[in-house]
Amino acid sequence: MALSFKHIAPFLTTDQNRSSRWLSYIGLGIGVLLLLCSIQMYINIDALLKNKNAKKDGYDYISITKKVTNENMAEDHSFNEADMSELKNSTLIDDATGLVANKFLVKATGGGAVPFTADMFLEAIDENFIDTIPPAFNWKEGQTLVPVIISSDYLELYNTVFAPSRDLPQVSEKTLSTIIVQLEFIGNSGTQTFRGNIVAVSDRINSVLVPRNFLEWANQQFGNKEKSNPSRIFLKTKDANNPELLSFLQQKEYHINKDKTKFGRVKQVLQMIVTGLAGFGILVVLLAMVLFSFYLQLMIAKSKENLQLLLTIGYSPEWLSKTVAKKWVPVYIVVIIMAVVITVLLQWSFQHFVMKDRENLSPIVNWIVFATASLLLVLSVAINFRLVKKLLYKL
């Protein structure tokens, strides 16, 4: 018959201080639960405050400019090559590109359908930064018809503010493509008129976009020949709400399109609160462990004479410490499994009852929570083994 704890149990004073033992079990359970729930909430916040913006291939696109203040109004606010390479080399940013702007005067007239004349601007950007690129969005030299992409905000403004105030017809996105706008370019080499055709609207880029090769050609033709740096940069990033990215840009004093990152601050604050809770959970776990270690020390101190005698009559200290420590392994397993089960139930209830089955929130607990629970189990068992061994070898 193999020796086990039950053989030596009568020689140990295990029944004393039951209350501190149970308190430590409850403390461990509460601490682990608090920690696991905090981790899960952290992940939930991450999931819920993501995907708020139009994404292309899972990326967020935000535009940045250099802040203009009263103090620096006279300075150059464009991005030089060093700024660009710093942005491109940042691990937080996947790609960055400058917006090319017109360097000559542009006037737009609506023609017969929408009678208006206005000074306006044009910009161009790398095509892979644009969310909606129809096949017609290209230009060849000699072509007078220029495809244009405008921000969907402009269309909305036109339909809700401009058109009703002037008693003009409202236009749909589809009708928009049939409208031809006269674009008059006035520059060093004279004046030329192009026909602008709105081929798409963009949710992402707040501008009037034309093909890049067209604007570069036009700048050469009508603008000054000097090469200038872009004043507005578009960034491609995995998560525009990443607090690290936001603080990086803040530190560089770049102005960010607030609308796209407003969740960033909320997320930062919420995650800080949850991190605080997790810290508190760790503290409770530690206190529970300390309490349990007091119980173990007391038990070993009270059983000291018997344990010494067991060692004297030939019991191995290694076997004794393992056997005594092993006694509490099932308790740790039960306590931690209970905390995991409660976390699983809470997550499911949160997703189902509070978030009303929202799709971007999983009802299943994240694997990190399980990994943390396993790690805690291994840690608590290992600490327990070490402690018992240390106490026994001290006898």
Partner 1 sequence: MQISLQQVAPTFIEQEKIASSQVWNKSIVFHPAEKIQIIAPSGSGKTSLIHFLYGMRKDFSGEIVYDKKNIRSFDAEDFAAYRQKHVSIVFQDLRLFPEQTVLQNLEIKRQLNSFHPENKIAAMARRLGIESKLTKLCKTCSYGEQQRIAIIRSLLQPFDFLLLDEPFSHLDDNNRKTGLELIEEECSMRKAAIILADLRQTAHFKADRILDL
State the nearest-atom distance from the C-beta of 6 to partner 1, in Å. 10
Of the candidate spans 5-13, 66-74, 166-174, 331-339, the one that interacts with partner 1 by CB under 8 A turns out to be 5-13
- Shortest reach from residue 8's CB to partner 1, in Å: 7
The Cβ of residue 31 has, within 10 Å, a number of other Cβ atoms equal to: 23
List C-alpha distances in Å: 243 to 269, 299, 300: 10, 49, 50
Rounded distance between C-alpha atoms, residue 124 and residue 216, angstroms: 9
Shortest approach of partner 1 to residue 311 CB, angstroms? 7
- Please name the residues in contact with 334: beta carbons below 8 A apart, sequence gap of 6 or more: none
- Token pair listed for 272: 């800080």
Give percent helix, percent strand, percent coil of the chain, each to the nearest 5: 50, 15, 30
Joined tokens for residue 103: 């360097």
Cβ proximity of 335 and 324 under 8 Å: no
Overall size of the chain counted in residues: 395
Q: Which is nearer to partner 1, 215 or 299 (CB)?
A: 299
Nearer to partner 1 by C-beta: 136 or 309? 309
**Stretch binding partner 1 (CB under 8 A), from 2-10, 120-128, 228-236, 294-302:** 2-10
Size of the site for partner 1 (CB under 8 A): 19
- Rule CB under 8 A: which of 201-230 touch partner 1? none
Smallest gap from Cβ 326 to partner 1, in A, equals 17
Q: How far is the CB of 26 from partner 1 (least distance, A)?
A: 31
Q: 148, 165, 244, 233: which is closest to 199 by C-alpha? A: 148
Q: Is the Cβ of residue 344 or residue 395 nearer to partner 1 in the bound state? A: 395
Cβ distance to partner 1 smaller for residue 5 or 162: 5
Please state whether beta strands 95-98 and 180-187 pair in parallel, antiparallel, or not at all (unpaired).
Answer: unpaired
Read off φ and ψ for residue 99, nearest 5 degrees. Answer: -90, 125
According to CB under 8 A, which one of 10, 58, 112, 330 is a site residue for partner 1? 10
Using the minimum distance from each CB to partner 1, give the nearer residue, 311 or 331.
311
**Cα dihedral across residues 224, 229, 230, 236: positive or negative:** positive
Tell me whether strands 145-151 and 190-202 are parallel, antiparallel or unpaired. Answer: parallel
Give 125 or 310: the residue with its C-beta nearer to partner 1: 310
Residues 266-325 touching partner 1, rule: CB under 8 A, are: 306, 309-319
Measured from the CB of residue 318, what is the shortest distance to partner 1 in angstroms? 6
Least Cα distance to 46 among 257, 362, 282, 371 occurs for: 362
Q: Which CB atom, from 82 or from 313, has the smaller least distance to partner 1? A: 313
Nearest distance from residue 299's CB to partner 1, in Å? 15
Which lies closer to partner 1 via its Cβ, residue 238 or residue 322? 322
Site for partner 1 in 319-378 (CB under 8 A): 319
**Under rule CB under 8 A, residue 157 binds partner 1:** no
Q: How far is the CB of 392 from partner 1 (least distance, A)?
A: 9
Distance from C-alpha of 141 to C-alpha of 392, rounded to nearest angstrom? 89
Binding mask 375-394 toward partner 1 (x if CB under 8 A, else -) reads ------------------x-
Phi, psi for 263 (deg, rounded to 5): -75, -20
Nearer to partner 1, 370 or 385 (CB): 385
Part of the chain binding partner 1 (CB under 8 A), chosen from 6-14, 57-65, 159-167, 224-232: 6-14
* CA-closest candidate to residue 307, choices 11, 24, 10, 15: 11
Least CB distance from residue 2 to partner 1, whole Å? Answer: 9
Distance of CA 74 to the CA centre of its chain: 36
User: From CA 210, how far away is CA 150, in angstroms rounded?
Assistant: 9
The site for partner 1 (CB under 8 A) is made up of: 1, 3, 7-8, 10-11, 306, 309-319, 393
